[in-house]
Amino acid sequence: MSAVINKAKLQYRRALGIEAGIILVLAFVLFLWKGYVSISFLAGGCASFVPHSIFVYWVFFRNSTKDRTKMTAFYCGEGIKWLITILLIVLSFTLIPNLQYLVFFVGYFLALFLNIALPMLLSRKST
């Protein structure tokens, strides 16, 4: 089982790096094209990417003697992910002046899609 978990760790580490790169490159291109609107895109991407990164860390990379099973770590990580997502969305809506909601949710849903698609594509590529 350890070999399977180590393979998943490597795939998620690569997927998170690729996802961060895609979000940053798209935000930079949007900045060059539309300027300040890119802040909304980046905030939306971060509102999805940061909680997912913390979830992956919590499930795969954190060593805790309290979590006896991986399912306990999974459920705790999922709860933390939801809490941080809600917090980041509320902070974005309240603290960013002139937030473009459509662009925010485009970034958010793109990051959600990449959270799902990249690990699947990387696992397909390695088999």
DSSP state at residue 35 = T
Give tens-digit pLDDT for 13-62: 899 999 999 999 999 999 999 888 899 999 999 999 999 999 988 888 77
Burial class of residue 26, CB neighbours in 10 A (0-12, 13-18, 19+)? middle
**Rounded Cα distance, 76 and 67, in Å:** 9
- Confidence at 65, pLDDT banded by 50, 70, 90: low
Answer left, alpha or beta for residue 20, where phi above 0 means left and psi between -120 and 50 means alpha. alpha
3-class secondary structure, 65: coil
Identity at 127, one-letter amino acid code: T
